[in-house]
Structure 1
């Protein structure tokens, strides 16, 4: 199901942040299968399949721990669901010594979202973010809208702008 970017029922911090930034987006809900996390590709491929989207246009939001100056703590990496994350490339893009996958509980605390529904937009804590360069090759990309079974579509340049992200090749 697709809805316009009009404010209405079902809003999330992500959609509120997009609306406040004046970013055009579309809303896409689907029936989430709780078994999807354990399946091949997890939540992101479930969204692509359920919504009939090209998987390369659906992006997953991954939280990483950052070790070293200037930004120790957590960071966000946004990559296509068809790829994995290159942690060395993330560390280089965000200017730290090392990056490692964050613990799910830490990711949930920092973002205010649950795993499988973590959006790169409207997070509780503003975190350094990197978006994989491949996102810019598509006119529209899809990211979690802030809950399982809900994605938003937007221009990749708007995603970069609203998250203050750097763009780098971080997918492999």
Structure 2
């Protein structure tokens, strides 16, 4: 028996969340190689594909096959995580109105990581670990001002792809 046994049953949102992370992570990673507009286009495309995967997978039961229904508290945690993220994004937008600034993008990465910490309660320990490494990546990016922030953007995308893939894989164990 390993720590993986029963994780999918305990965290049924993990599989769909992991699939979403892979899609948005790919969008972030590809977007890291272009301008701000390119980053935003690919970020939106990744999110749209992730939402489509979850919608189609949920409607056809492909994503959630063999999993129990999530508990109501897991849905509440998901909602709280989105509300906290939305509030923190509004704080950053007010604090850093220059949407091209390094600080703006690094704090956005940090905020997304922070909301994964909350999601760890509903999506499992891989999501919580992703939170810590994403926040650390963003903090390093804030401290190393000489490095192109797109490096940290690309690292963030790769972290999301890896964690998302792990969440999907573990959900089948």
TM-score computed with the length of structure 2 as normaliser = 0.27
Name whichever structure is richer in strand by fraction.
1
Name whichever structure is richer in helix by fraction.
2
TM-score computed with the length of structure 1 as normaliser = 0.27
Relative contact order (alpha carbons < 8 A, sep ≥ 6): 1 or 2 greater?
2
